[in-house]
Amino acid sequence: MPMEVDQPQTTTPRISAGDFVLIRMPSTNTKIVCMKPGTTISLGKFGSFKADNLIGQTFGATFEIQKDGKIIAQAPTAFDNADDTEANNKEINDDPTSQKMTFEQIEELKLKSIAGDVSAKEIIDSLTENNASFEKKTEYAKSKYIRRKERKFMKAFTPIEPTVFNLCGYFFEVNPGKIRGIRPDTLSQLLSLANVYSKARVLTVDDGQGLIAGSLLSRTTSEGMVFAMHDGDVSNYDVVRYMKLSPEDKERLRTLPWHRLDHEMTPFTEVLPENPTEKDISGYERRKRGHARLASNLETLRAGEFDALVISTNYNVVSVIKRLLPYVGGSRMVVVYSQSEETLIEAFDWMRHSPEFLNVQMTESWLREYQASCSAPSHVLPEDA
């Protein structure tokens, strides 16, 4: 008898109330929105819809916005649907005279579309039916033509899951300075070089508003943790809040301000005044929790034996490594990311001459697709401590 094997159960991620979602519009522009029940999400010229109508739907589906703010799922359109035929574009002269509809007629359709009286599909169908050269095109060329018109007229959007990869790509496009210019391919290289596994305890310095800290957190499970050093009393890990993390996952991200690194803990001796008010009690409990949290974080850090040290900082890299290396276990990876080659050369030279490190390397990642828009290459410096 053939042995029966249980197939893995896979579930399609769904959008929940309170989630942050990347909304990709027909123009290929993307924005981040929060799914707050009872609110309206505006996409500018592409229309508005009720957040309640998207909650419970799946990521990756395409939805068209209706006149009343409702949304309906649309079948995906892709070049994969374009079959090979014997048609070619050799004899096509695709100029404005190919379109039988007048400028005034097209503008009238646009106005009706804005008012919600005509759907984008109806406009595109009218344009293709009245285009003298459309039927002479190859199927691939037809798909390109329709896709171009969809970007112009379609009141549709696609909700994208805020994974590490998607968030990194989004911020690299709209605000690369926020994440210190790290690209998705460079981030994946960094995580691979750091040898982050499910039970890893990783020490990090992330001055890119939490992208790297959140990425490390996504690679570990309940038995792993991420410990992050930061400026100020409170970490400014804005990117982490966009990620779809459970409360348990967030608890595995421990943080400590730099100015507390050498702090010596003393017992919590504060006492409440006689006849305390609710404000007195609330402040007392908050300070007591803060004291206990600081003590716990210092104990965790000083226990040392971290499995990796990952650095992306505005400070001098060599000084950061010197301060944190005592907390890293032997034969563990130290990975440094920087946009500046000079910064890494300095660290590279110091580490090569230090007896604390073996196999010091400096690598550079580069994507041809981004060469025109990149002001500087991204560098990663990995080594064994």
Residue 1 placed within a domain? no
Split into its structural domains, the chain has a count of 2
Q: Is residue 308 part of a domain?
A: yes
Residues 97 and 121 in one domain: yes
CATH at 92: 3.10.330.20
Give the model's pLDDT for residue 153: 67
Q: Is the pLDDT of residue 357 over 90?
A: yes
Judge whether residue 67 has pLDDT over 80.
no
Residue 282 inside a domain? The answer is yes
Q: Are residues 139 and 228 part of one domain? A: no
Phi, psi of 381 (to 5 degrees): -115, 105
What is the per-residue burial (b if ≥16 Cβ within 10 Å, else e) of 194-232? Answer: bebeeebbbbbbbbbbbbbbbbbbbbbeeebbbbbbbee
Are 135 and 176 within one domain? no
pTM of the model: 0.80
* 8-state DSSP, 358: B
Residue 205 domain-assigned (yes or no): yes
Q: How many residues appear in the chain?
A: 385
Residue 189 has pLDDT above 90, yes or no: yes
Does residue 8 belong to any structural domain of this protein? no
pLDDT band at 98 (very low <50, low <70, confident <90, very high): low
Residue 232 lies in a domain: yes
In a domain, 5, yes or no: no
Domain CATH code at residue 196 = 3.40.50.150
For residues 133 and 224, state if they share a domain: no
Q: What is the pLDDT of residues 247-269, one digit of tens each?
A: 899 999 999 999 999 999 999 99
Asked if residue 101 and residue 218 are part of one domain, the reply reads: no
Residues 321 and 335 in one domain: yes
User: What percent of the chain lies above the pLDDT cut of 70?
Assistant: 79
Containing domain of residue 63, as a range? 13-159
Q: Which of 108, 138, 159 is the last residue of a domain?
A: 159
Asked if 196 and 256 sit in the same domain, the reply is yes
- Domain's final residue, options 119, 142, 159: 159
Do residues 266 and 368 both lie within one domain?
A: yes
| Better-scored residue on pLDDT, 7 or 345 | 345
188 and 113 within one domain: no
Helix, strand or coil for residue 252?
Answer: coil
Q: Answer yes or no: do 253 and 185 share one domain.
A: yes
pLDDT at 143: 76
d(CA 114, CA 91): 36
- Give the residue, 233 or 136, on which the prediction is more confident: 233
* Per-residue model confidence (pLDDT) at position 2: 44
**Same domain for 197 and 256?**
yes
Tell me whether residue 330 is in a domain.
Answer: yes
What are the tokens at 22? 């990347």
Where is the domain boundary, 135, 159, 183? 159
First to last CA, the chain: 53
Are residues 184 and 81 part of one domain? no
